Structure 1
Amino acid sequence: MFKIAIVGRPNVGKSTLFNRLVGKKLALVDDLPGVTRDRRAGTAHLGDLTFTIIDTAGLETGAPATLAGRMRAQTEAAIAEADAIFFMIDARAGIMPDDRAFASLLRRADKPLILIANKAEGRAGTAGAQEAFDLGFGDPVGLSAEHGDGLSDLYSALREALPEATELVEEEAEETAVTLALDDEEDGSELDPTKPLRVAIIGRPNAGKSTLLNRILGEERLLTGPEAGITRDSIGVDLEWRNRKLKMFDTAGLRKRARVDEKLEKLAGADALRAAKFAEVVVLLIDAAAPLEKQDLTLADLIAREGRALVIGVSKWDLVQDRAGRLKELREEASRLLPQLKGTAVVPVSGATGEGIDALMAAVFAVHVTWNKRVSTGRLNRWLAAALEANPPPAVSGRRIKIRYITQQRARPPYFIIFGNQLASLPESYKRFLTNGIRETFDLKGVPIRLSTRTNENPYDGKRRK
């Protein structure tokens, strides 16, 4: 699959075109210039063509060590990686000095290039599109990324710019998904190792999320630095770890809602939470120097309510002095403060040195197996009989609650149903007793457990006594 990078100065509509081509609102879009900072890739569809599209930041000026300089380096990396370039200008604004600076950079790249005059609808747009001839890249493609006008012209230009690559795309065969069979008579799993494992990394600002993911990838793929709140978009990257395919998401830092007043930070926070909801395993990254604060617990509770598996990563571990004592303290805090996710793995890591990365990934794979686990009905009911004998449910208003049997309806996360009589009166404390027993007996640590009740129907209910 060939790659196309969208480049141009800030606020010309690059992210809008990116979202249009991938068919989803993946990239944050706002009228404020400079929203995009990292480069972001997605699978684009244009007619019968399928390719990888890369959204980039504007051409920023600044020393290499500054945030602007690091953003520019991300854009240059996208240009080097791409097979062709979509060079976008704002047709209504006309040619600006930054457009000419970009043009000089792209000439040195020596890649097939398509000049796009965005916002070309109306008289003002038509005049700006004609002005784009001065850049020396031939006929511009006039389109409206917001409304989808002009995409047929973009398709023709792409076929002309990359004739060999676009011919190969038509011949690609579709992959067939493989689904594993599940044996209902024994313990089983809904795990499908052919599909990439989706992992989201979330946490407060400046916890080291991007640094950690760069260390896992082995390259400076994501923008990092001492400034808090650098990441805005949730960036998904594909990788392979120990022969297992993954898609990992770096997300924006999440602060307490009361402290968030900027519209852009609200958009970034909502995007981060969306990434966590669509992940299978979530790594909650906390700073080793800070205790588990209310914001961390709120995020963990959100993960539990969404039914995702959890691993707690303790970042910046290379800066900790009393490591054994600090790790014991954090694990005790997690066990006490997160009863709904009891047994969650707490793994110390350092994105700066790479320490603990193997242990973190091992914990991610292990909790994913647990999240997909199915327990046979026979084992569940043998456990239930022993639990009821040791601690029978209490009587309510003089009426005995009778639990008959239990079964697991599904996994991802594990979901169990208890059948019996008078279960509407079953106290929450007894449900917690059953949930904790299931977790301990069948080793379902670090994943939320769903438990519901279903009362057997009374065939004589509603009939008058004669």
Structure 2
Amino acid sequence: MSKVAIIGRPNVGKSTLFNRLVGKKLALVDDQPGVTRDRREGEATLFDADFTLIDTAGLDDAAEETLAGRMRQQTEVAVADADVILFVIDSRIGVTPMDSHFAGLVRRADKPIIVVANKAEGRAGEAGALEAHGLGLGTPVAISAEHNEGMIDLYDALAAVLPQSAPELPEEEVAPLVLGDDEDGTELDPTKPLRIAVVGRPNAGKSTLLNAWLGEDRLLTGPEPGITRDSIGIEFKWRDRDLKIFDTAGLRKRSRIEDKVEKLAAADAIRAVQFAEVVIVLLDATIPFEKQDLTIAALAEREGRAIVIGVNKWDLIEARGSKLSEMRESAERLLPQIKGVPVVPVSGRTGFGLDKLLEASFKVAETWNRRLSTSRINRWLSAALDANPPPAVSGRRIKIRYMTQPKARPPTFVLFGNQLNGLPRSYQRYLVNQMRDVLDLPGIPIRLVMRQGDNPYDKNKNR
């Protein structure tokens, strides 16, 4: 599929145009300039034209060692990778000296260039759109990405330069295993990419870790905390398995978030967790299990995601054997709701442990998708009840009859019996922990739902 890169100076509406063409609010948008930092890709459609669209950071004439300079380098990579370039200007301001400067740089890319005069709604943008002729990059296309105006003209310009691609043949689908009540199985579909979100506090090394997996500087990194803002999804293959990994903004305590853009970035990171299958909670090995780390892990557990704890910057640790044992004990103690969660030491800087972290991710995904047969569940339940019967509450005996698993992702079990509304939380934890150990369900959220039969002696039943 052809690639189209959107470039231009900050705050000309590149991300708004990106969201318009991909049909979703994927990129963060704000009046403040410089919101976008990493380049983001999405599948775009404009009438009958389908292409991959790349949103980029605003072009800034800054030194290479600065954050703005590193952002410009990411844009230059996008330009080199694209088939067509959309050079966006702000019609209401007109052509600025910075626009003219970067137009000269873009011209040297020797690729089809379409000048897009954005924010051209009403008469305020007419003069700026006409002024764009002076850039020497061809006839500008006047649009308003926010108000969806001028899209037909943009389509005509794109259709004239996009390379024609042969139609793709549909791939044969392989359905996941269909289960019956008498056999174990899985809901994991091997034909779909495994969706992994990497989350953690600012400066834990999330973007560095993804760059190490990809083998390139795909994401912007640096000593400054909070560089990543958008949740960037990147697809790649690992050992013939398809992955889509989301790099997210660092999550700080809510009380410490004051900037509007940081609030948007935090909401975007939480949304990435909600749509992921596996969440890698990345800790800083030098200051692990801070309160915010535990809050992030608890968020992923509440959302029902499979969880792996990655301990980054492992190259900075000296007594590694004892430190790893200590951290695994801490995980068991501090995160009892996901007892058995994998704790994997890694170093995004040196590449240590990267394969083991993905191996752990696939393993917990398989556990998260597991479906157990009703017969196996009830054999375990009978043994668990014999070993430790449920207590009597207010002199009334609690009777547990049987259990089923109606769904996976995460594994959810329904317990049937009488007086279950009085079943103590401690006994529910006993059942869940026994399931983890005996039925091999470590380190994932487990949902336990109570269902009790109608009481024929309940006088209030029919009221």
TM-score bin (small chain) = over 0.9
- Say yes or no: does 1:351 pair with 2:348: yes
TM-score, structure 1 length as denominator? 0.96
Partner of 2:5: 5
Partner of 1:147: 147
Q: Deviations over 1:392-417 (max 9, x none)?
A: 11112221111000011110000000
8 A Cα contact 1:114 1:161, kept in partner: no
| Counterparts in 2 of 1:194 and 1:258: CA distance versus 1, 3 Å | same
8 A Cα contact 1:345 1:446, kept in partner: yes
| Counterparts in 2 of 1:108 and 1:463: CA distance versus 1, 3 Å | closer
- Say yes or no: does 1:265 pair with 2:265: no
Q: Which letter does structure 2 place at the counterpart of 1:5?
A: A
Q: Deviations over 1:342-383 (max 9, x none)?
A: 001111100111011111111011111110011111111011
TM-score, structure 2 length as denominator? 0.97
| Counterparts in 2 of 1:103 and 1:406: CA distance versus 1, 3 Å | same
Q: Any residues of structure 2 matched to 1:262-341 within 5 Å, and which?
A: 262-341=259-338
Q: Deviations over 1:227-277 (max 9, x none)?
A: 111111111101000000000011111111111111111111111111111
How far off its partner does 1:63 sit? 2.4
Partner of 2:45: 45
Q: Which letter does structure 2 place at the counterpart of 1:155?
A: Y
Partner of 1:28: 28
Q: Deviations over 1:185-227 (max 9, x none)?
A: 2110000010000001011111110000000011110001111
Partner of 2:79: 79
How far off its partner does 1:176 sit? 6.3
Partner of 1:253: 250
Match of 1:435 among 420, 432, 435: 432
SS at structure 2 position matched to 1:146: coil
SS at structure 2 position matched to 1:344: coil
Match of 1:382 among 373, 379, 384: 379
In structure 2, distance between residues paired with 1:291 and 1:157 = 53
- Say yes or no: does 1:194 pair with 2:169: no
SS at structure 2 position matched to 1:106: helix
Moved >3 Å (runs of 4+): 171-178, 458-464
Q: Deviations over 1:422-441 (max 9, x none)?
A: 11111111111111111111
Partner of 2:161: 161
- Say yes or no: does 1:180 pair with 2:176: yes
8 A Cα contact 1:234 1:272, kept in partner: yes
In structure 2, distance between residues paired with 1:359 and 1:347 = 7
Q: Any residues of structure 2 matched to 1:84-95 within 5 Å, and which?
A: 84-95=84-95
- Say yes or no: does 1:102 pair with 2:109: no
Partner of 1:236: 233
SS at structure 1 position matched to 2:296: helix
Q: Which letter does structure 1 place at the counterpart of 2:69?
A: G
In structure 2, distance between residues paired with 1:63 and 1:141 = 32
Q: Share of identical aligned residues, percent? A: 65
Structure 2 unaligned blocks of 5 or more: none
How far off its partner does 1:457 sit? 2.8
Count residues in correspondence: 460
How far off its partner does 1:174 sit? 5.1
Match of 2:212 among 211, 215, 240: 215
How far off its partner does 1:66 sit? 1.8
In structure 2, distance between residues paired with 1:46 and 1:175 = 24
8 A Cα contact 1:22 1:45, kept in partner: yes
In structure 2, distance between residues paired with 1:392 and 1:146 = 63
8 A Cα contact 1:115 1:140, kept in partner: yes
Q: Please, which moves more after superposition, 387-396 or 79-88?
A: 387-396
SS at structure 2 position matched to 1:405: strand
